[in-house]
Amino acid sequence: MLHLRWRRWRVLALAPALLWLGAVSVYPLAVIVLQALRPGTSRSIRLFEAISDPHVVEALGRTARLVAIVVPIQLLVGVAVGTQIGLLQRGRTVVLVLVALPMFVPPIAIGLMWRFLLEPTRGPIASVSKSLFGLTVEGFSTTTSAFRNLALISIWQWSAFVAIVVAVAVATTPRSLLDQAFLDGLTPAARFRNVIWPRIRESALILLLVQTLETIRTFDLVYVLTQGGPGTATELLSFLVFERAFQFNDPAGAAGAVMMMWGISTTLMMVGLFVFRVRLSGRSTVYV
């Protein structure tokens, strides 16, 4: 009897949270699904139209290319910088705060700042580059430079996040282990592989997943910097969704592309979590 009452009470206690979840998550999801299932201009539904739309497919390819370039570099840079910070004996907090600065700046402000810095005629980088090396900065004026600079800014912005997470994980490594590895004559690479990597591996896997999803969602930078141009160089999937939903006033068309993004993100997340679980359950060689 008491057990039943307790169960009922637990359901009641959870009700506000469930209602809230329903309102902020399930309801919008349902609206988007319904929009995506609406009939399209042909005999198909909007979701299938989105999947077969060449612009959406091309934007998906561009987004995948950005992920393939940005995420590995973010992880490499973040792990390298984060490891060095984590190993610092003194001043670690100050360095962490300095490294974290790009994360405190709103993405719109970051976009505006880089738009100014990389402006080919009056930007400071263009001036210095021209006067010192005679080189012209292309900024966002060509398809190649626009995509490259978008990737670079994204790497700059988010490597800091990776570095902080890694630094915190590295900082938990007992000093005695590092000293022991040093005394055993291990090379720096071997020390990293055997002492540090096992402690940051799980964090790195999670970061890989998070940064992949974050890069797929890249929107603010494109909106501020290029509006998808020049040509279609920076027309990413999230920008296409925004364009359809808010500029073309076509929520059903946008919903089709959103469903596609969801499908890809959810698949990636499930694969990532599966790999994560396998790695966690496997035996790891930790230098102890």
In the complex, which residues of this chain contact another protein (CB under 8 A)? 41, 119-122, 136, 138-143, 146, 225-233, 243, 246-250
172/249 with CB nearer another protein: 249
Spatial distance between the Cα atoms of 150 and 180, rounded to a whole number of angstroms: 43
Q: How far is the CB of 39 from another protein (least distance, A)?
A: 11
49/214 with CB nearer another protein: 49
130/217 with CB nearer another protein: 130
Q: Which of 97, 221, 225, 207 is nearest to 154 (CA)?
A: 221
Q: How far is the CB of 126 from another protein (least distance, A)?
A: 8
Q: Which residues are CB-neighbours of 269 under 8 A, at least 6 positions away?
A: 209, 213
Q: Are 92 and 85 in contact (CB under 8 A)?
A: yes
Q: How far is the CB of 137 from another protein (least distance, A)?
A: 8
61/91 with CB nearer another protein: 61
102/120 with CB nearer another protein: 120
Q: Are 211 and 75 in contact (CB under 8 A)?
A: yes
Q: How far is the CB of 140 from another protein (least distance, A)?
A: 4
150/196 with CB nearer another protein: 150
23/273 with CB nearer another protein: 23
CA angle 103, 74, 210 (to 5 degrees): 70
Residue 50: Cβ within 10 Å count: 29
Residue 281: Cβ within 10 Å count: 7
Q: How far is the CB of 52 from another protein (least distance, A)?
A: 13
Spatial distance between the Cα atoms of 158 and 67, rounded to a whole number of angstroms: 12
Q: How far is the CB of 105 from another protein (least distance, A)?
A: 20
Give the largest Cα separation in the chain, rounded.
84
Q: How far is the CB of 141 from another protein (least distance, A)?
A: 4
With the C-alpha atoms ordered 123, 125, 126, 132, is the resulting torsion angle positive or negative? Answer: positive
Q: Are 255 and 35 in contact (CB under 8 A)?
A: yes
Beta bridge mates, 39: 45
Q: How far is the CB of 244 from another protein (least distance, A)?
A: 9
202/220 with CB nearer another protein: 220
Phi-psi map region of 134: left, alpha, beta (phi>0 left; psi -120 to 50 alpha): left
